[in-house]
């Protein structure tokens, strides 16, 4: 069974990489990101795949430099590569992601239901603060709240703010936002990302119940 699962995932990744090599679209990048993020367990392999995805996302931006959605997904790809790499060596990716999220927000702060806002918020929350890097929880919370104004019922906007609140020890408030995230309508064009996010929501709810 495990062998079959591995073969299926390998075929899916090969298809995604092939599609991106020919002519990447935003949906190609989104689908490939989900496959890497949720179906690639090996850390080194995940980093290599995210780094490749960054280059494909760059192609989107090169083709449409003022496309806020393309800039957002370049930032998401770079932030994911930073997370996979870890340590101080990840900061270059994080800083590049920050720059691209800021560009996207300047063009259209509501792009992709606030994705640039909450993704930048997550970066501010996760990276170290001064003097090492730009991390700042006050700025992070401000960005999460802006994203929720854009997408008050959105799965990701509610999830990311809830994750921040859990880290801050505000479990009751986090529970409320996670409940909203659970109730968000399915994203039919992104089933794998949808499934992965719902699993993350369930895991965070379980963590909260154990701590309350």
CA 166, 171, 175, 176 dihedral sign is: negative
Q: Which two tokens stand for residue 186?
A: 């399915």
Burial of 82 (0-12, 13-18, 19+ CB in 10 A): buried
| pTM score of the predicted model | 0.88
Confidence of residue 41 (pLDDT cuts 50, 70, 90): very high
Query: Domains along the chain?
Result: 2-151 (1.25.40.10)
pLDDT tens digits for range 180-212: 999 999 999 999 999 999 999 999 999 999 987
End-to-end CA distance of the chain: 38
Mean pLDDT value across residues 58-79: 97
pLDDT tens digits for range 90-142: 999 999 999 999 999 999 999 999 999 999 999 999 999 999 999 999 999 99
Q: State residue 211's pLDDT score.
A: 84
Cα–Cα distance measured from residue 205 to residue 211, given in angstroms and rounded to the nearest whole number? 10
Q: State residue 24's pLDDT score.
A: 87
pLDDT tens digits for range 129-187: 999 999 999 999 999 999 999 999 999 999 999 999 999 999 999 999 999 999 999 99
Q: What is the DSSP string of the chain?
A: -HHHHHHHHHHHHHHHHHHHHH---HHHHHHHHHHHHHH---HHHHHHHHHHHHHHHHHHHHH-TT-HHHHHHHHHHHHHHHHHH-SGGGHHHHHHHHHHHHHHHHH-TTHHHHHHHHHHHHHHHHS-BTTTS-B-HHHHHHHHHHHHHH-TT-HHHHHHHHHHHHHTT-HHHHHHHHHHHHTSPP-TT-HHHHHHHHHHHHHHHHHHHHH-
Q: State residue 212's pLDDT score.
A: 74
List the Cα angle 108/110/116 in 5-degree steps: 80
Which residues fall within 8 angstroms of residue 26, CB to CB, at 6 or more apart?
A: 60, 69, 70, 73
């Amino acid at each position: 069974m495990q062998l079959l699962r591995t073969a299926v995932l390998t075929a899916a990744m090969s298809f995604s990489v092939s599609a991106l090599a020919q002519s990447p679209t935003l949906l190609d990048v989104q689908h490939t990101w989900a496959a890497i993020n949720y179906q690639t367990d090996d850390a080194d392999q995940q980093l290599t795949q995210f780094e490749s995805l960054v280059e494909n996302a760059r192609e989107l931006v090169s083709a449409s430099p003022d496309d806020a959605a393309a800039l957002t997904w370049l930032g998401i790809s770079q932030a994911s590569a930073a997370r996979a790499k870890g340590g101080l060596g990840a900061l270059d990716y994080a800083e590049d992601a920050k720059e691209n999220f800021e560009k996207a927000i300047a063009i259209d702060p509501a792009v992709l239901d606030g994705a640039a806002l909450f993704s930048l918020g997550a970066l501010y929350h996760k990276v170290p603060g001064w003097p090492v890097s730009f991390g700042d929880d006050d700025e992070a919370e401000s960005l999460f709240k802006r994203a929720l104004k854009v997408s008050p019922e959105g799965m990701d906007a509610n999830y990311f703010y809830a994750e921040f609140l859990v880290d801050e020890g505000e479990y009751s408030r986090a529970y409320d936002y996670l409940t909203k995230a659970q109730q968000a309508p399915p994203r039919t064009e992104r089933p794998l990302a949808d499934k992965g996010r719902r699993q993350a929501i369930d895991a965070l709810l379980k963590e909260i119940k154990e701590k309350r």
